[in-house]
């Protein structure tokens, strides 16, 4: 292979920190930044986030595409990305750590009923709001992949009664593992705090819906850090109104930024965060890209390739 040429095509993300880290981690690779792509036929690899439509059709020598994010649903929309070109999702240790911190922070907040204690403070009410022992608190995580696993490992450390749900059966020491549609009801029935860490695919779109909420314990809390497309907003607001869901943290939304007049902003029992649960960090993320470009040169299969038939 001639000298690899990596195109940075993330129009919404500042390029500078990435370029610094790319040059440090792989000085042998030439880096170009969209829209100054030079001779398109020289570009061998692309690092993308919300890339311009039509980009891939212009790159005849493309060998591999890296996603800046873990979720790749918007890239799978690009019909011109040839199916034989490996698409690599983001797996970054800092992203995993930040997601763990965020999910643990929110789960502990709901476990200890902090929103209620804060409401009491505003009303000057002295009330000893108690919480069950951690071993009696049932937390469920939808998705037991890179991020779900890290969150589960940390929550396990507090002694929670933890369960996870995935597509295929998984070995999950120290917790209860459920898999597939058939086992979803049993998983939901024991999820007092439900965390969504699924990828957005045709199978998972709208999975946080009325039927799902009806199977949760009364007064459950929801933490959605997957994608906005997982949540059926009208069903969710109805579940909050009925008390089936007591509190929720939403980090991801069908429309981002969340429109200023959206009811979620002002709902007393919803915490809105602006899709910041976990961000990819250039300093730690570049090594996976360098390793994969090296594997490509050595004729080895890439790590973390998206299975396009599954959608993640
Ligand atoms: P991953 O490693 O691909 O794991 C995905 C998990 O979901 C796997 O356990 C998979 O099951 C399970 N799954 C997929 N489809 C399913 C289905 N139909 N039924 C049951 N389980 C299913 O993904 P990840 O790296 O953990 O990331 C997960 C998602 O987090 C991303 O796709 C993205 O949407 C979101 N995310 C959000 C932020 C944020 O800041 N809010 C940041 C990063 C990522 P198997 O184990 O059986 O394959
Ligand atoms: C962020 O949402 C990601 O998918 O990494």
Model confidence band, residue 189 (pLDDT cutoffs 50, 70, 90)? very high
Residue 179 has pLDDT above 70, yes or no: yes
- pLDDT band at residue 78 using 50, 70 and 90 as cut-offs: confident
* Of 154, 159, 158, 160, the residue nearest 140 (C-alpha): 160
70 CB less than 6 Å from ligand 2? yes
227 catalytic per annotation = yes
pLDDT at position 2, please? Answer: 84
Count CB neighbours of 52 within 10 A.
13
Token look-up 């579940």 returns 239
Q: Provide the β-strand partners of residue 195.
A: 141, 223
What is the C-alpha end-to-end distance of the chain, expressed in Å? 29
Span 2-6, average pLDDT: 94
pLDDT score at 1:
63
Q: What percent of the chain has pLDDT over 90?
A: 98
CA distance 76 to 85: 12
- pLDDT tens readout for residues 145-175: 999 999 999 999 999 999 999 999 999 999 9
Count of C-beta atoms within a 10 Å radius of residue 219? 11
Q: How far is the CA of 69 from the centre of ligand 2 (A)?
A: 4
Please enumerate in sequence order all residues whose Cβ is within 8 A of that of 194, keeping only pairs 6 or more positions apart, or say none.
Answer: 139, 140, 142, 188, 216, 220, 221, 222, 223
Give the pLDDT confidence of 240-274 residue by residue, as tens digits.
999 999 999 999 999 999 999 999 999 999 999 99
CA of 278 to the centre of ligand 2 (A): 7
For the ranges 44-53, 78-87, 131-140, 283-292, which has the lowest average pLDDT?
78-87
- The secondary structure of the chain, three-state, reads CCCCEEEEECCCCCCHHHHHHHHHHCCCCEEEECCCCCCHHHCCEEEECCCCCCCHHHCCCCCEEEECCCCCCCCCCCCCCCCCCCEECCCCHHHHHHHHHHHHHHHHHHHCCHHHHHHHHHCCCCCCCCCCCHHHCEEEEECCCHHHHHHHHHHHHCCCEEEEEECCCCCCCCCEEEEHHHHHHHHHHCCCEEEECCCCCCCCCCCECHHHHHCCCCCEEEEECCCHHHECHHHHHHHHHHCCEEEEEECCCCCCCCCCCCHHHHCCCEEECCCCCCCCCHHHHHHHHHHHHHHHHCCCCCCCECCCCCCC
> Which one of 170, 269, 275, 308 is the catalytic residue?
275
Q: What is the pLDDT of residues 37-61, one digit of tens each?
A: 999 999 999 999 999 999 999 999 9
Q: Is 69 in the pocket of ligand 2 (CB under 6 A)?
A: yes
Tell me the backbone φ, ψ of residue 220, rounded to 5 degrees: -70, 160
Atom of ligand 1 lying closest to residue 148 CA: 26
- The residue to mutate among 12, 13, 69, having the most atoms of ligand 2 within 8 angstroms of its beta carbon, is 69
Place of tokens 């976990």: 278
Contacts of 152 (CB under 8 A, 6+ apart): 141, 144, 162, 164, 172, 175
Ligand nearest the Cα of residue 98 is 1
Å from CA of 52 to ligand 2 middle: 18
What's the 30 CA to ligand 2 centre distance in angstroms? 26
Ligand 1 neighbours (beta carbon < 6 A): 70-71, 95, 99, 143-148, 165-168, 170, 197-201, 203-204, 225-227, 251-252, 275, 277-278, 312
Phi, psi of 162, rounded to the nearest 5 degrees: -110, 140
- Residue 138 near residue 158 (C-beta atoms within 8 A): no
CA distance 78 to 294: 26
| Whole-number average pLDDT of the chain | 97
Q: Whose CA is nearest to atom 37 of ligand 1?
A: 226
Q: How far is the CA of 144 from the centre of ligand 1 (A)?
A: 7
Q: What pLDDT digit, counting tens, does each position of 123-137 carry? A: 999 999 999 999 999
């Amino acid at each position: 292979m001639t000298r690899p040429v990596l195109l940075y095509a993330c129009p919404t993300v500042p390029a500078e920190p990435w370029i610094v880290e790319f040059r440090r981690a792989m000085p042998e690779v030439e880096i170009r930044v969209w829209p100054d792509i030079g001779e398109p036929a020289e570009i061998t690899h692309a690092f993308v986030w919300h890339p311009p439509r039509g980009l891939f059709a212009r790159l005849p020598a493309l060998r591999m595409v890296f996603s800046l994010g873990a979720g790749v649903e918007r890239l799978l929309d690009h019909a011109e990305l040839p199916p034989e070109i490996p698409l690599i999702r983001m797996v970054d240790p800092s992203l995993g750590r930040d997601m763990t911190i965020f999910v643990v922070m929110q789960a502990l907040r709901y476990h200890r009923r902090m929103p209620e204690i804060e409401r009491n403070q505003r009303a000057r009410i002295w009330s000893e709001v108690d919480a069950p022992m951690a071993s009696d608190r049932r937390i469920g995580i939808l998705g037991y992949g890179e991020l779900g696993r890290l969150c589960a490992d940390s929550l396990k450390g507090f002694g929670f009664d933890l369960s996870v749900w995935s597509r295929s059966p998984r070995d999950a020491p120290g917790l209860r593992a459920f898999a597939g549609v058939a086992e979803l009801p049993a998983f939901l029935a024991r999820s007092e705090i439900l965390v969504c860490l699924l990828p957005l695919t045709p199978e998972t779109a709208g999975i946080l819906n009325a039927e799902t909420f009806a199977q949760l314990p009364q007064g459950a809390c929801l933490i959605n850090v997957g994608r906005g497309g997982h949540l059926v907003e009208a069903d969710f607001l109805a579940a909050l109104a009925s008390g089936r869901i007591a509190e929720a943290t939403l980090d991801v939304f069908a429309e981002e930024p969340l429109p200023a007049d959206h009811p979620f902003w002002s709902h007393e029992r919803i915490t809105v965060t602006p899709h910041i649960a976990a961000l990819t960090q250039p300093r730690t993320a570049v090594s996976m890209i360098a390793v994969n470009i090296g594997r490509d040169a050595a004729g080895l299969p890439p790590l973390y390739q998206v299975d396009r038939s599954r959608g993640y």
